[in-house]
Amino acid sequence: ASLLFFPYVVGVLPTNPKLIRGGLEVGAYNAIGYWAQSISLQTSQASTAAFICSLAVIVVPILDSLLDNQKSIDSLKKTLFPALLAAAGVASLELGGVELPGVGDLWAFMQPIFFGLGF
């Protein structure tokens, strides 16, 4: 895919470097997210890592509400309650064990954060 789009990138680079920087930033966030996810899957249980990594669908709207200057605090409240309710529902389904969190779980928490930043 890189070779296919390379001629376009070469043509756009001199005219719009901000677009290239933005693409590199998003790519770096996603690369770090995938890297953290792969390390977490090696060092923690798959069900726990799956739950934590599924938090990306919750982190994205929360980060959007926090980082968008035009949105009000009411928008954050309207986003936060359903997100926490969804996380609690998934947690009750996935986290049925008594195992304590480990280092792999910390790596897994990096994935939704960096995916959220990338979106």
**Cα Rg of the chain (Å, integer):** 18
Could you read off the pLDDT of 15-64 as tens digits, one per residue?
Answer: 777 887 888 899 999 999 999 999 998 988 887 888 888 888 888 877 87
Whether residue 37 contacts residue 92, with contact meaning beta carbons closer than 8 Å, is answered with no
State the Cα–Cα distance between residues 83 and 79, nearest whole angstrom: 6
**Banded model confidence at residue 4, pLDDT cuts 50, 70, 90:** confident
Could you read off the pLDDT of 79-118 as tens digits, one per residue?
Answer: 778 888 877 877 776 666 666 777 888 888 899 889 888 8
The residues near 90 (Cβ < 8 Å, ≥ 6 apart) are 51, 54
pLDDT at 72 over 90: no
The residue with tokens 């954050």 is: 76
Whether residue 49 contacts residue 109, with contact meaning beta carbons closer than 8 Å, is answered with no
pTM of the model: 0.71
The amino acid present at 8, given as its one-letter code, is Y
**Banded model confidence at residue 71, pLDDT cuts 50, 70, 90:** low
